[in-house]
Structures are given as structure tokens and as C-alpha cells.
């Protein structure tokens, strides 16, 4: 009946609890800051990534688990330091020891509104969303590249589609028709580590941690919403074009690629379509694969499901009630929690649905969060 999810637990007042009268396979939010903190901790308590505990301490500096979080950080760093020292004294070629080992797929928190989603063990299969009221583009637009360092873009034609899903997650309701009146361009891939590093070299972006040994063509991750804003500001200056993050409506419109099914490829999971831990090969536990390793959707956009969660411009709202129907960003003053879409390599296939949405505090960096860019076609 309900798809089981964790909601993002960063400076929010939502927790997951089973409401009386609903199936135990479904979870709904309740207000309890204490339970928010407990659920946050439960989602990271087995992690071997120091950054997870740092994220907890940033949100709950005086929390009930703060002493344990500090101890875990010290232990992980001491272990990494000791391993590095031992490696440097051996005559054999030293093996690389990361500063903080990445979380295992079973112990990583699940970004269902808390750091990285803990994959559910039981989840009811949702019915497909309502069919769109008007045609959406089903073929790829032309490719655009505004400068040597700029990400490749795909033109997305205007059109209408049904956004959201009236089954399962309350945050995806109500399904509603959105009409995007003007063409826009969207990144063919998420922004890569190499592209991010071009911004770092220009002195406009901060160097990302825990990605030094990753493929430079892998998506940039461990990126906050604020970091992404720095990047698009630099890209705008470098290219002379007005870059930005996509709106949530633009993102889902493009992710669906003219489809109205659960996934862009249909209503059933299909191996090899997305970079997630049970989506088929290629897959690796320690980081996302290089962009473009999996099939593109009908618009020629890669990795709209899996790889990294992608920041969009909108402020988080707990449902689509009163959401704009013209595709613009749904913002509000003093917003702290922003929407992320698409799922990551650490999640299961149930997070690859075109309608899946979560949130994160905009200043928090988390290992599975990245982004792709957009701009107007004017």
C-alpha cells in the first residue's frame, strides 16, 4: 500500500512512524524533534565514513549521541592514520587508505530524508501514476556546449506532464498536471569531478573531500546545495550564459522523458538501467560509476536515476498541495531544506522511480548528493 521510506532528517521536524490503521509497510511523518534525532542516528550508526558523524554533529552539536559521534570520528581517523603509517614503512607498494572509508551499502544511511537512505526490506509496489494530460517530448533535443569547461546540455522542448504520484508517499501527492511553456537546457550528465575541479582551479569552488581517488568522470558528490550555487555562479561568469539548478518540475519532466510509468523505462525494474546497488552491473560500493555508464532516457539524458542524488532549486514542501503548475521553482523565504531527486548508487531500485523525492538541509554535504545544471534557451 505504502512505499516504505525514510524522510530527510536535517533540521526538520518530520519523523517516520506507522500511523494506526495503516499497513506496517507504510510510514508517515509525525512531529517530534527527539525522534528525528534518533532516526538520524539510526541511519548512520553503522557507517565507517567520518563525514556521516560530522553531519550529525553539525545538526545536533549537543545531541544525545554527540559524545559517541565524536568518538567514532576519532576512531575512524586514528585507524586511517595508523594504516597510512604502516603502509609508508613497508617495502611493498603501499595500498591506498582513504581518510574515511566509504560506507558499505548495507550500513550506509538512506537519503530518504536523512543522510543516505537505508533501503527498505519490504515495500509495496506502487501503481503507475496517472497519464499526462498533454504530450511530452520523447526524443532527444540537440546537444549544446557553451564553453570548453562547460557541461554538455540537452535541449528539452516545452510540454505538459503529470507530476507526482497519488499512490504511496504522501510527499508525492497530489499528482498534478504541470505545463512547461518554454524550452530549457539540462545537463546531459550530472556535473563530474573533473568539471567541479575546473571551478576549484579557478578559485570559485571549494575542493571536495573523499573523492581524490575516484574516476574524474564520475559525478561530483559530497556537495551541498550551497556548493552547487557556487558552481553555477562561476559557470555563468565563465560561459556568459545564465546557468542555474533545474526546478523540481523541470527535473521530473526531463527524467520521465515523455513517459508516465514508474521508471522511465517502464513499470518494472530492469537490470542495467540505473546506477543503484540492486540495479545490475556495472556497480561498485565505494562510489558512483562514471557518468554515462548506463543507458540514456528517451531525451538523451543519462543517470536521471541512480548515480548521485541531484539538488534542484526548490524549497522542500511536504506535499504538492498548492504547488505551481507552470514549472517554476517553488521557493519561500528563509528556506533551509531543499529538494533532492533521483536516488544514488547506495540505494535500492525503489528509489529510482521518476516521482521519488527527498530533502536535505542546503548547507549540509553528504556523500551521495550531487547535481546537474540547467539554463534557459533564450
- 41 and 135 in a single domain? The answer is no
Domain count, the chain: 2
- 171 and 215 in a single domain? The answer is yes
> Higher pLDDT residue, 323 or 64?
323
Q: Write out pLDDT tens, residues 254-312.
A: 999 999 999 999 998 888 899 999 888 888 888 999 999 999 999 999 999 999 999 99
* Residue matched to cell numbers 567520518: 50
- 172 and 81 in a single domain? The answer is no
CATH at 358? 3.90.1580.10
* CA 77 to chain CA mean position, Å: 26
- 187 and 258 in a single domain? The answer is yes
Q: Write out pLDDT tens, residues 25-76.
A: 333 334 445 666 776 777 677 777 777 787 778 778 888 888 788 888 888 7
Distance, CA of 275 to CA of 351 (rounded, Å)? 11
- 286 and 199 in a single domain? The answer is yes
- 181 and 256 in a single domain? The answer is yes
Residue 104 has pLDDT above 70, yes or no: no
Distance, CA of 344 to CA of 368 (rounded, Å)? 6
Final residue in a domain of this structure, among 124, 141, 172:
124
- 355 and 215 in a single domain? The answer is yes
- 148 and 266 in a single domain? The answer is yes
- 354 and 213 in a single domain? The answer is yes
Burial of residue 177, with CB atoms counted within 10 A of its CB: 0-12 exposed, 13-18 middle, 19 or more buried: middle
Q: Write out pLDDT tens, residues 153-163.
A: 999 999 999 99
- 110 and 186 in a single domain? The answer is no
- 240 and 363 in a single domain? The answer is yes
- 81 and 146 in a single domain? The answer is no
Domain range for 295 is 126-378
Final residue in a domain of this structure, among 63, 90, 124:
124
* 152, 142 contact by CB (below 8 A): no
Final residue in a domain of this structure, among 124, 142, 172:
124
Rg from Cα positions in the chain = 20
Q: Residues of the chain with pLDDT > 90: what percent?
A: 55
Amino acid at each position: 500500500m505504502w512505499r516504505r521510506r525514510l524522510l530527510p532528517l536535517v533540521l526538520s521536524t518530520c519523523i517516520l512512524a506507522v500511523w494506526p490503521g495503516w499497513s506496517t509497510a507504510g510510514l508517515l511523518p509525525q512531529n517530534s524533534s527527539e525522534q528525528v534525532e534518533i532516526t538520524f542516528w539510526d541511519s548512520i550508526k553503522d557507517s565507517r565514513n567520518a563525514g556521516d558523524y560530522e553531519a550529525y554533529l553539525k545538526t545536533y552539536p549537543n545531541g544525545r549521541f554527540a559524545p559517541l559521534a565524536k568518538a567514532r570520528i576519532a576512531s575512524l581517523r586514528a585507524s586511517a592514520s595508523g594504516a597510512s603509517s604502516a603502509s609508508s614503512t613497508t617495502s611493498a607498494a603501499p595500498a591506498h587508505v582513504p581518510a574515511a572509508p566509504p560506507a558499505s551499502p548495507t550500513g550506509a544511511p538512506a537519503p530518504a530524508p536523512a543522510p543516505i537512505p537505508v533501503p527498505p526490506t519490504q515495500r509495496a509496489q506502487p501503481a503507475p501514476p496517472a497519464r499526462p494530460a498533454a504530450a511530452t517530448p520523447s526524443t532527444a533535443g540537440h546537444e549544446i556546449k557553451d564553453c570548453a569547461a562547460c557541461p554538455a546540455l540537452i535541449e528539452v522542448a516545452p510540454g505538459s506532464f503529470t507530476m507526482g504520484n497519488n499512490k504511496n508517499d504522501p510527499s508525492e501527492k497530489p499528482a498534478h498536471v504541470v505545463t512547461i511553456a518554454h524550452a530549457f537546457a539540462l545537463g546531459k550528465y550530472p556535473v563530474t569531478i573533473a568539471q567541479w575541479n575546473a571551478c576549484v582551479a579557478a578559485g570559485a569552488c571549494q575542493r571536495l573531500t573523499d573523492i581524490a581517488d575516484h574516476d574524474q568522470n564520475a559525478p561530483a558528490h559530497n556537495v551541498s546545495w550551497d556548493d552547487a550555487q557556487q558552481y553555477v555562479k562561476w559557470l555563468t561568469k565563465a560561459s556568459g550564459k545564465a546557468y542555474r539548478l533545474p526546478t523540481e518540475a523541470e527535473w521530473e519532466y526531463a527524467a520521465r522523458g515523455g513517459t508516465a510509468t514508474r521508471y522511465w523505462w517502464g513499470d518494472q525494474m530492469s537490470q542495467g538501467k540505473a546506477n543503484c546497488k540492486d540495479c545490475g552491473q556495472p556497480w561498485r560500493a565505494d562510489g558512483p560509476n562514471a557518468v554515462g555508464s548506463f543507458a540514456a532516457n528517451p531525451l538523451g539524458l543519462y543517470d536521471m536515476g541512480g548515480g548521485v542524488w541531484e539538488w534542484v532549486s526548490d524549497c522542500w514542501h511536504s506535499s504538492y498541495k498548492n504547488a505551481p503548475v507552470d514549472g517554476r521553482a517553488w521557493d519561500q523565504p528563509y528556506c533551509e531544506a531543499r529538494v533532492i531527486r533521483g536516488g544514488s548508487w547506495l540505494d535500492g531500485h525503489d528509489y529510482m522511480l521518476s516521482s521519488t523525492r527527498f530533502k536535505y538541509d542546503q548547507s549540509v554535504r553528504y556523500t551521495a548528493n550531487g547535481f546537474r545544471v540547467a539554463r534557459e534557451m533564450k
